[in-house]
Structure 1
Amino acid sequence: MTSFEDRQRAFETKFARDEEMAFRIIARRNRLLGVWAAEQMDLTPAETDAYCKAVVQADFEEAGDEDVIRKLMGDLTAAGVETDEGIVRRALDDRSIEARRQLMEAQ
């Protein structure tokens, strides 16, 4: 029984570690996405920092990326930035890759 329990414990540990890493990647991605959008809107460094935090917080509204995309689209449109959902989704995908790379390098 011990080997089965050890395997189960190892699986649970790996699952927890993978979930934590996924959360960190998404949070980093959202911060990078906030920086990208802030650059599009010509925000100051202080405004950029606050905006990045708001983008990270927006992800907690519902499961998935739609809440973040909706926030970015609304904010970019309100700031007079010409964009569409495809551009925002590409930026999201690019920032996902960058976030994963940054976290892998940090380990």
Structure 2
Amino acid sequence: MTTFDKREQGFEAKFVHDEEFMFKATARSNKLLGLWAAGQLGLSGDAAASYATTLVTDHLESRAIADVVDEVSGDLAAKGIAREQVALKLQECLHQALAQLEVDKQ
């Protein structure tokens, strides 16, 4: 195996690792957002967990942030929570998820 082949394999392995890490971070942040939104909707226990899990599973393939924000802000519109607030909360959740994953790695 040449040096070029080893280098290529290294880049491919890093790409796979980075994609897996971002997938986990996105799923975790969606769950955190779902739990927050469930609380805003007055849900607790199994109902809150179900809402959060649905938010994660519905957006596993697309991973589009706008879709998640649209869905949650639509659910929270009657509570007077603006789309911008939901987007900021999702950003907070993503930072929290990344921090949690970093701790999990250690």
Judge same fold: TM > 0.5, yes or no: yes
Q: Does 1:10 align with 2:10?
A: yes
- Paired residue for 2:83? 85
**Contact kept in structure 1, 2:26 and 2:63, CA below 8 Å:** no
Q: How far off its partner does 1:58 sit? A: 2.9
State TM-score, norm by structure 2. 0.92
CA gap 1:61/1:20 in 2 versus in 1, 3 angstroms: closer
**Matched pairs, number:** 105
Name structure 2 gaps, 5 residues minimum. Answer: none
Q: Percent identity over the alignment?
A: 34
Task: Return 5+ residue gaps in structure 1 as ranges.
Answer: none
1:50 is the counterpart of 2:25: no
Runs of 4+ in 1 over 3 A off after TM superposition: 60-63
For the aligned residue pairs, the C-alpha RMSD in angstroms reads 1.4
- TM-score, L = length of structure 1: 0.91
Q: Paired residue for 1:97? A: 95
